[in-house]
Amino acid sequence: MVQTAAVILDNPAFVSDVCGVNDGNLRVLEQLLDARIMSRGNELFIETEDAEKRSVLVTIVGELREHAALGRDLGPDLIRAVFEGVNTGGTDSTELLKRNAVSVNSSKVFPKSRTQALFIQSMTEHDLSFAVGPAGTGKTFLAVAHALAEVLSRRKRKLVLTRPVVEAGESLGFLPGDLSQKIQPYLKPLYDAMESLVPGETIQKLEDTRVIEVAPLAYMRGRSLRDCYVILDEAQNTTREQMKMFLTRIGENTRVVVTGDVTQIDLPRKKESGMLHAVGILHGIEDIGFTYFTSTDVVRNPLVKKIIQAYDANERS
């Protein structure tokens, strides 16, 4: 028998935050709990036959109250992440979301999923972190946020951005401009992330003072990277030899983050992905962090998640 139960919220502003714009958050909660949810005054009402669902809603609201106190926007991504945490990991999982935030200048970047929180934790705890997963899961954005936090606070002297350039046959000589101008178009996702986090003039100043350095992966050979934060993006397109060369550049007080999507390898057919190979042989080393994203972690347009899942299903069939 369907029953209606009330959850009382003590703050009118919090009620508005929980409901979201045009009750968008309530619609997300309805989908997650498979129950009708309404608001009136300072109360939420849930119509369900399952008493457990009311208990879950009470727990979710309690968690959202704590996130709101931390200054977080209570958007659909957070609603889903808190629901996932309550459903799968209880308080340990939801605590993971609350304690793993990245401070960039005066703003904070919060994880939008449990996996994002694990990735932030990995970057904080390890000198070398791998993030493997599909596009749209926030790998590159979080790596850039974490790197800027380290560089702007002067915990690291320099930010080095690199990636393989298989599209140009690993040769940039035919392209116009100096080295930085040649490689920058290939690093646009990293720059997009930076521009969403800090003003353009800050980025320009960091480039002018050579705090930000951009270089194709091939130019890493022979270097020793000390006191740096290094991001290797699109790492699925490294060869085994390139990945070994890159990883052995790590010097004193340097942090390295390697990101890639192993479903989008553009190497010639006979070439093995250096990222796949490295993840396979390095996985047993405790000092290295590994985070694996899936289509459920996609935080772009929800349509992207469905597209990735459709391609995954097709490849398995």
Does the structure show a pLDDT above 90 at 268?
A: no
Q: Are residues 53 and 123 in the same domain?
A: no
Determine what percent of the chain is predicted with pLDDT higher than 70.
Answer: 91
Q: Are residues 147 and 198 in the same domain?
A: yes
Residue, of 82 and 191, whose pLDDT is higher? 191
Residue where a domain terminates, one of 99, 126, 142: 99
CB 49 within 8 A of CB 3: yes
Does the structure show a pLDDT above 50 at 193?
A: yes
Res. 150 pLDDT band, cuts 50 70 90: very high
Q: Are residues 94 and 132 in the same domain?
A: no
Does the structure show a pLDDT above 90 at 161?
A: yes
Check residue 199 and give its pLDDT: 94
Q: Are residues 199 and 88 in the same domain?
A: no
Residue where a domain terminates, one of 56, 77, 99: 99
**Residue 13 CB neighbours (<10 A):** 9
Does the structure show a pLDDT above 60 at 177?
A: no
Q: Are residues 268 and 306 in the same domain?
A: yes
d(CA 42, CA 11): 7
Q: What is the pTM of this model?
A: 0.83
CATH number of the CATH domain containing 35:
3.30.1370.10
CB 130 within 8 A of CB 258: yes
Say which residue the tokens 């920058």 belong to: 184
d(CA 175, CA 194): 24
Q: Are residues 66 and 133 in the same domain?
A: no
Q: Are residues 290 and 170 in the same domain?
A: yes
Res. 169 pLDDT band, cuts 50 70 90: very low
Q: Closest by alpha carbon to 221, among 242, 235, 252?
A: 242
Residue where a domain terminates, one of 99, 126, 161: 99
Check residue 180 and give its pLDDT: 61
Does the structure show a pLDDT above 90 at 221?
A: no
Q: Are residues 110 and 95 in the same domain?
A: no
Q: Give 2-38 pLDDT, tens digit per residue.
A: 678 778 877 778 888 888 888 888 999 999 888 898 8
Q: Which SS3 state, helix, strand or coil, does residue 53 take? A: helix
Determine what percent of the chain is predicted with pLDDT higher than 90.
Answer: 45
Q: Are residues 305 and 248 in the same domain?
A: yes
Q: What is the mean pLDDT of residues 162-172?
A: 63
Q: Which SS3 state, helix, strand or coil, does residue 311 take? A: helix
| Domain count within the chain | 2
Query: Pairing relation of β-strands 212-216 and 158-163?
Result: parallel
CATH number of the CATH domain containing 177:
3.40.50.300
d(CA 293, CA 127): 20
Can you give the residue range of the structural domain that contains 21?
3-99
> C-alpha angle 127/131/193, rounded to 5°?
95
Q: Are residues 112 and 88 in the same domain?
A: no
Q: Give 95-127 pLDDT, tens digit per residue.
A: 888 889 999 988 889 898 889 999 999 999 999
Average pLDDT score over the chain:
87
Helices within 126-169 (DSSP H only): 139-152
What sign does the CA torsion over 152, 154, 157, 159 have?
negative
Res. 168 pLDDT band, cuts 50 70 90: very low
Res. 170 pLDDT band, cuts 50 70 90: very low
- For residue 251, what is the enclosing H or E element? none
d(CA 87, CA 73): 21
Q: Are residues 156 and 289 in the same domain?
A: yes
Q: Are residues 205 and 109 in the same domain?
A: yes
Check residue 133 and give its pLDDT: 95
